[in-house]
Chains A and B, each alone.
Chain A
Amino acid sequence: SQQGEEDPQALSIQEGENATMNCSYKTSINNLQWYRQNSGRGLVHLILIRSNEREKHSGRLRVTLDTSKKSSSLLITASRAADTASYFCATANQAGTALIFGKGTTLSVSS
């Protein structure tokens, strides 16, 4: 069963615009992670935010976490065509031994 669910399922923007995608989850977490998957490739870890953090930055990425609403958002600023990919959020399973991924948001950035 899915722990995290991303929204929207698909997003199309122009280069230079910001892209925001959201993730909702069901149970309490220790951390939440975001991954990127380029077409035909494996997933690549982007950023991890711990449950006691509210915001985290990495380059053009900004992640927020609201544990009271059980939600997180990933903001990509000044998008580039190379940001075209699927983005997944992930949280640990109840046993704390593996990650459960959402279904992802597919981002298309056109030039």
Chain B
Amino acid sequence: NAGVTQTPKFQVLKTGQSMTLQCAQDMNHNSMYWYRQDPGMGLRLIYYSASEGTTDKGEVPNGYNVSRLNKREFSLRLESAAPSQTSVYFCASSTGTSGSRSYEQYFGPGTRLTVT
């Protein structure tokens, strides 16, 4: 099993450009998540999808959109990139669904995004 995969690994964008970060998991997990990690800030939740067909905002959703394409895939889109979106982005998945209390999460390797 590959676990959680993310593409691309690195990306440099100019301000105003758009891009989509891809995430896929092969563990048949119901829930998927997008985080950003900045120095000194820990991980902050951008969006999550508790189950296929649903998405919800996390702590820092502004400037992002997501699509839960199917049970395996959850993409994150930056419509008009800004320097403040320079960060490392992590996708994660878990078996947890609404009402579940487990939430052990499995993380991808991350995408390092620089916006100039």
Instruction: Select one of A48, A88, A100 contacting B45, CB under 8 A.
Output: A100
Q: Inside 8 A of B45's CB, which chain A residues have their CB?
A: 93, 98-100
* Cβ contact within 8 Å between B101 and A101: no
Q: Is the interface of B mostly helix, strand, loop or mixed?
A: loop
Contacts of B109 in A (CB 8 A): 41-42
Q: Which residues of B contact A43 (CB under 8 A)?
A: 43, 90, 92, 105, 107
B2 interface hit (Cβ, 8 Å): no
Q: Is A80 an interface residue (CB 8 A)?
A: no
Q: Are B102 and A48 in contact, with the CB atoms below 8 A?
A: yes
CB of A68 within 8 A of chain B? no
B residues bordering A, Cβ < 8 Å? Answer: 4, 31, 33, 35, 40-43, 45, 48, 50, 56, 58-59, 90, 92, 96, 98-110
